[in-house]
A = this chain, B = another copy of it.
Amino acid sequence: MKDIKAEIVSVGTELLLGQIVNTNATWISECLAEQGISVYYHTVVGDNKNRLTTIFSDADKRSDIVFITGGLGPTEDDLTREAFQKLSGLEIIEDEATIIKMEQISAKNNRTMTPNNRKQSHTFKGAMVLKNSVGIAPGIIVDYNNTLWIFMPGVPPREMKAIMMEEVIPYLTRKLKLDAVIHSRMLRFIGIGGESQLEHELQSLISNQTNPTIAPLASEGEVALRLTAKANSLREADKLIDGLENKITAIVGQYLYGYDQVNIGQKVFDLLKEQQLTIASAESLTGGAFAASIVDHQGASEVFNGAAVVYQSFSKAKALNIDEKLLETHGTVSKECAEAMSSQVKLTYQSTIGISFTGVAGPGQFENQEEGTVFISICDQDNSYNTQKFQFHGDRKTVRNRAVKKAYEMVYYQLKRE
């Protein structure tokens, strides 16, 4: 199969002013990726005829298919057709079926059609008109200069989506006999250090790979690899990805915890459920963030008993019955305090596992500990402790997020061992 080069042009000054996000381009791209069509560029350009024409002229030279959204509405600002006419010289005509549809709607609502309204029916002579099942302005497909030009309304996005799903994709499938797919699988790793560490381990694999490709992605505290294969069928793509995955897991398999959308929180939640365990958290610097992330999961009550957010020294003593002398001797940011918290919360909330967080979110030091210092302690079914000290970097929010993520990592390895 020839590699089809597509690009997306989004028209609208409101995009350039930052008033709305260009989710249309994202949606179309995702849709095309599933069809095996490669998108090479997104361009956003304002409602300006000359600039639009220039962008169309660039697209004409480099792409096989150009998707254009926006600028097809009834106002004077809507100049997409006029700009394409300037490039192509194609005559603009009214689409009769659209005019009839508009007249019927106007009659129904006892309104008169303005000359502006008629503009929404405009298409190019010889073009194919695409039905808009949820709105007025139809889509348009023009085959011009060996490039396929596909025009769709930009707002509301549901009109573009309906035209894409009901008209454009079926048309392209017929026209291009699409039988290739691009398929991705995400491998998720935890505990491996960082993106560059993982890449270092896999360097030769990554640089020699072309199909499937390997793209490393880092998010706070964990790493993922996206394997993307291009093949003639989903099955074949899967097979290609399987082969590569085996090579990768031979090197770093011990860090792999899940696939695709399964994040580490979900994984821990599933393991707790499988092993019929319950957890409760004692949280100081995280302020309930661990608890709040667990109850995101439907059915949380099966594994989560509750949390004590003991943000003050006296609340640690009062709500969790932690010995005040221990707090005085060791301070609240200490291994001793973390372990008292994890065992006491386990007791108070009658869970099989207790986990605790105490540390310095910052900014600045606290009890002579650097900002970013965090103790996380697990008190397990047998009342034995796994307590670790970390040094995280970043602002308050980052430190807390890293702590929660690290806690999931610790619980994950603990449950995996059992």
A: residues with CB less than 8 A from B are: 13-23, 25-33, 38-46, 51, 55, 58, 73-77, 105, 108-109, 111, 114, 116-117, 134, 155-156, 182, 184, 193, 195-197, 199-200, 206-207, 215-220, 226, 228, 280-281, 283, 285-292, 294-296, 298, 300-301, 304-312, 314-315, 318-319, 348-350, 361, 363, 391, 393-398, 400
Contacts and interface: CB of A to CB of B under 8 A. Distances in A.
A292 B32 CA distance: 36
Contact of A391 (B108, B195, B228, B296): B108
25 contacts: A13-B215, A14-B215, A15-B29, A16-B42, A17-B184, A18-B26, A18-B33, A21-B26, A42-B42, A43-B43, A43-B44, A75-B196, A75-B216, A116-B199, A117-B196, A134-B394, A134-B395, A288-B289, A288-B295, A295-B311, A296-B396, A298-B363, A300-B311, A301-B312, A305-B312
Contacts of A300: 287, 311
A88 B237 CA distance: 40
A51 B42 CA distance: 12
**How many monomers of this chain does the complex have?**
2
Given A15-B42, A42-B42, A114-B199, 17 more contacts: A13-B215, A16-B40, A18-B28, A18-B30, A21-B26, A40-B46, A41-B45, A74-B195, A76-B199, A111-B197, A114-B197, A134-B398, A281-B309, A286-B295, A289-B292, A306-B319, A312-B349
A224 to B, nearest CB: 11
User: Ordered nearest first, which 3 A-B pairs have the shortest CB separation?
Assistant: A288-B288, A18-B30, A287-B295
A25 B42 CA distance: 12
Contacts of A298: 363, 396
Contact of A196 (B55, B74, B195, B215): B74
A17 B41 CA distance: 10
A14 B305 contact: no
Contact of A292 (B38, B200, B217, B287): B287
Given A17-B29, A40-B51, A220-B156, A311 B306 contact: yes
A288 B304 contact: no
Contacts of A75: 195-196, 199, 216
A305 to B, nearest CB: 5
A13 B381 CA distance: 46
Given A196-B75, A292-B286, A307-B288, A39 B58 contact: no
A308 B305 contact: no
A109 B16 contact: no
Interface centre among A40, A51, A182 (most CB of B within 10 A): A40
Contacts of A38: 16
B301 A319 contact: no
A309 B291 contact: yes
A74 to B, nearest CB: 4
Contacts of A305: 311-312, 315
A308 B309 contact: yes
Contacts of A290: 288
Contacts of A42: 15-16, 22, 42-44
A285 B31 CA distance: 33
A144 B290 CA distance: 48
Nearest to A39: B16
B307 A307 contact: yes
Contacts of A218: 155
A332 B38 CA distance: 52
A45 B40 contact: yes
A75 B203 CA distance: 10
Contact of A114 (B196, B294, B308, B318): B196
A315 B300 CA distance: 14
A117 B400 CA distance: 25
Nearest to A46: B40
A398 B135 CA distance: 11
